[in-house]
Amino acid sequence: MPDIFISYAHEDQERVRPIVQELEKRWSVFWDKKIPPGKTWEDSIGKALEESPCVLVVWSHSSVKSDWVKEEADVARKRDTLVPLFLDTVEPPIGFRRIHAADLSDWKSNNAH
């Protein structure tokens, strides 16, 4: 079971990668680049989403439009494992606006932030 599940829009993959690299220095992280051979995308993601004690939802210009990210965020909210963060200055989808999020919109890809 991963410690952290990352939910993000694929368009943001290169922006999310440094965050994952920093987190992996301390925790096990699942993001969809780690789907084992022979497993389906849905099975791997669903299992990791249900088992992870922390679901980091990355809100960006792309992810606020993504049905997959919204669905994963909803699962995390219902499980009380949601930890949102902003890559861009955006308004989260309805249902997530009252939940405080870490603002990494000015992050410089280092752990000092």
pLDDT at 110: 63
pLDDT tier for residue 1 given thresholds of 50, 70 and 90: confident
Q: How many CB atoms lie within 10 A of CB 12?
A: 20
Taking residues 98-102, what's their average pLDDT?
A: 92
Query: From CA 89, how far away is CA 93, in angstroms rounded?
Result: 13
Residue range 42-55, pLDDT digits in tens:
777 888 899 999 99
In a domain, 112, yes or no: no
Residue range 66-96, pLDDT digits in tens:
999 999 999 999 999 999 999 999 999 999 9
Helices (H), 1-113: 13-23, 41-51, 67-79
In a domain, 109, yes or no: no
Answer whether 6's CB lies under 8 Å from 29's CB: yes
- Residue 63 is part of which domain span? 4-103
Whole-prediction pTM value?
0.87
In a domain, 85, yes or no: yes
In a domain, 113, yes or no: no
Tell me what the pLDDT averaged over the chain comes to.
90
In a domain, 28, yes or no: yes
Closest CA to 59 of 102, 5, 1, 112: 102
Query: From CA 89, how far away is CA 24, in angstroms rounded?
Result: 25
In a domain, 70, yes or no: yes
Query: From CA 30, how far away is CA 1, in angstroms rounded?
Result: 9
Going across the sheet that includes 102-103, the strands are 29-30, 4-7, 54-59, 82-86, 102-103
CATH assignment of the domain containing 23: 3.40.50.10140
- Number of domains the chain is built from: 1
